[in-house]
Structure 1
C-alpha cells in the first residue's frame, strides 16, 4: 500500500521545510513550483511545474493527492472551488482561505463574530479617508485589500496629502482600499493554532514578534513577560477564529497588544515564520 500524498501549492521556503517533515512521517509529498530554482523544487522528488493561477496546472497537480494545501495564499478561490467539485480535499477550504486573501472580507467576518479589530472602513476617495481620520485621528493605516504581504500594500498615512499620493497607486484586479485605525501597541504577538477536519484544535505558546520593514525579523517564544491570562486570551482568540471561520490546518493570528487590549491584525492560513521555532522547540512542529 502506497503512502498518502500531500500536495503543496507553491515551491517556496515553507514547502521546502514541509518536505522534511513529510519524509520523517512517511508521507508522500508533492509540490507545484514555478521554476526548478524554487527552494522546494531543489529538494523534493515529486515536483510539478506550473502556475498557481492556472486551473489546468492545478487539476493535473492535484490528481492522486489525498489533500492539497499551500505555502502561500495567492491561489484564486474559484480555482480551488473547482478542485473541490472534482472531489479534491483542499485544506484550508477556499471559503476559509479567502479571509487570508482579502483583508476587507477578513475584517467584516471578524467583526461579525465579535473579535476585536482596529476600527476600519472601505474607502475609495480622499474625502473618505479624511472623514475616517476625523473619527479615529491621524495617522491611519491604508491597505490594499488583496495582494499585499510582508509590508507590501500597507502605508501609514499621516496627512491628507500623503493619502492622495497613495490613492494614485493603481490597484490590482479585484482589490479595494481599506483604511484602518492606527493602533499604538506595546508589542506584536503571534498566536498559532492547528485544527483538524473534525474540529479538534491545539494552540502553540504565544510568540512575541518584531517586524522590520514589514518582515518578521525576530521571534521569542514564549513571549517574555506576557501574563498567563493574556497568553490564554490570545490563544482563545486564535482558536475561536479557527472554529468560526472553519479553518483546517495551521492558522497564525497576528496581534497588537496595547497592554490593555489585544487587537487582531492579520491572518495566515499556512506555516508561518513565527512558528519556525517549533521545529526544534516543540514535540510536533508546525510543518508536521
Structure 2
C-alpha cells in the first residue's frame, strides 16, 4: 500500500504539530515554508521554501501531493481555484476557506443560514461608522479589516469618528460590529471529512489577554449541557453548510438573553487547527491535528472525547529571558505530569513560543499547574 502525501502550506507551529500527528498515521508530509527557519521547517524533511502568493510556486509544490491543506488562511482564493482546476485536492476548498479569509463574506453567509452573530455591516468611511453606531447602541464600535487580521491585529475598538479613521488607511474593506457585552469567550471545535462524517470536541472556555489567547479550559466550566450541545450543533451545521473539510474552530461569545439564560453568538471562524484546540494533544483520545489529517485524507475520524475531567492549555509567550531552557528543566522536574510543547522559535517578548497542557480531576489544581508553568517559562514568576 502506498501511503498518501499531504502538502501543507505554511511553516508555523500548526504545521509543526500537524506533522507530528501524521507520523503514527504513516503519511508522508511535505511543507511549503516561507523560510528554512520556520517552526515546521526545522522538523519536516521534505521542505520547499517559497512564496505561497506565487501561483507557479504553489503548482510546483502541489505536484505529487495527494491533498493540499493549510496552517493559515492567507493563500489567495484565485490560486486555490487554479489548483483545483489542475485536479489537485484542496481541503478546505476555496469556496469554504473564503469564509475564514474574508470576515464580510463570513458575516453575510452566516446571516443567510441563520447563525446568530453580533450586529454588523461593511462601512465605507468614518462617517459611515458614526451612522452604524447611531443605528444601534452607539459607541464603542468594533472595526475589523475584512481580510488579514489575526491575534488582535486588524481589530480596533473605537469610541469616536476620529478614532475610526485608522482602519481605513489600509485601503481594504472594513467591517463594523457592535461591541458585545459578553460573559466570556468560548470555542467549539469540530472536524468534518469529505463524505460528511463529523466529530465535535467539548466546548471550551478561551481566556484572551490583549487580543491573544492565554488559557483554554476544557470543557468550559459551568456551561449548561444544553448550551454546550447547541454550540456543538451550531459548529457542525456551519461546517456542513459551508462545505468545510478538515478542522473548523468556531469562536463564540457567551451572552445572556433578556431572561438571564445563556446563549452564544459567533465571533470568528478558523478552518485549520486552532489555538483553542491545542489541549487535545494530551487531553483527548484523538488530537485536533490527527483528526484534521484524517479528514483531509477522508480517513475515518478519531474519537474526540476527553481523557480526563479537566484539561487546561496555557500559551507560553516570550519574555525578557531569551534562554528558556533552565526554566524548562525546572518545570519538568517540578511537575512530571506537565506536557510542554515548544515551537522552536526565537524568544521575543509577547511571541507565542510554545504551550503547556495539564489535566486531572481537580480544576483548581489543573489551572494552577498550567499557569505556573507558563509563567515560569516566561519569567514572570521565579518560584
Shorter-chain TM-score bucket reads over 0.9
Report runs of 4+ in structure 1 exceeding 6 Å deviation. none
Q: Is the 8 A contact 2:145 2:167 kept in 1?
A: no
1:212 and 2:225 aligned: no
How far apart are residue 241 of structure 1 and its match?
A: 0.4
Aligned to 1:261: 263
Runs of at least 5 residues in structure 1 that lack an aligned partner in the other structure: none
CA distance in 2, matches of 1:68, 1:144: 27
Q: Is the 8 A contact 1:126 1:167 kept in 2?
A: no
CA distance in 2, matches of 1:125, 1:93: 32
Q: Is the 8 A contact 1:145 1:176 kept in 2?
A: yes
TM-score by structure 2 length?
0.73
How far apart are residue 283 of structure 1 and its match?
A: 1.1
Q: Is the 8 A contact 2:11 2:32 kept in 1?
A: yes
How far apart are residue 214 of structure 1 and its match?
A: 1.2
Q: Is the 8 A contact 2:156 2:167 kept in 1?
A: no
Please give the residue correspondences for 1:175-254 in structure 2 after superposition, counting only pairs within 5 Å.
Answer: 175-254=172-251
CA distance in 1, matches of 2:168, 2:90: 37
How far apart are residue 167 of structure 1 and its match?
A: 4.5
User: Whose Rg is larger?
Assistant: 2
Q: Is the 8 A contact 1:53 1:75 kept in 2?
A: yes
CA distance in 1, matches of 2:162, 2:38: 41
How far apart are residue 226 of structure 1 and its match?
A: 0.4
Range with greater deviation from structure 2 (130-139 or 110-119):
130-139
Q: Secondary structure at the match of 1:258?
A: strand
Shift of the 275–168 alpha-carbon distance from structure 1 to 2, 3 Å rule, reads closer
CA distance in 1, matches of 2:193, 2:170: 39
For this pair of structures, how many residues does the alignment match?
A: 284
How far apart are residue 155 of structure 1 and its match?
A: 0.4
CA distance in 2, matches of 1:227, 1:2: 46
CA distance in 2, matches of 1:168, 1:192: 32
Aligned to 1:160: 161
1:227-275 CA-to-partner distances (Å, cap 9, x unmatched) read 1001011101100100000000000000000133311000000000110
Aligned to 1:275: 277
Q: Is the 8 A contact 2:190 2:247 kept in 1?
A: yes
Runs of at least 5 residues in structure 2 that lack an aligned partner in the other structure: 257-261, 291-383
TM-score by structure 1 length?
0.97
1:121-176 CA-to-partner distances (Å, cap 9, x unmatched) read 11112221111101222111011101111110100111222113x245223xxx30
Q: Is the 8 A contact 2:227 2:263 kept in 1?
A: no
Aligned to 2:39: 39
Q: Is the 8 A contact 1:199 1:243 kept in 2?
A: yes
Aligned to 2:122: 122
How far apart are residue 49 of structure 1 and its match?
A: 1.1
Shift of the 86–168 alpha-carbon distance from structure 1 to 2, 3 Å rule, reads closer
1:6 and 2:6 aligned: yes
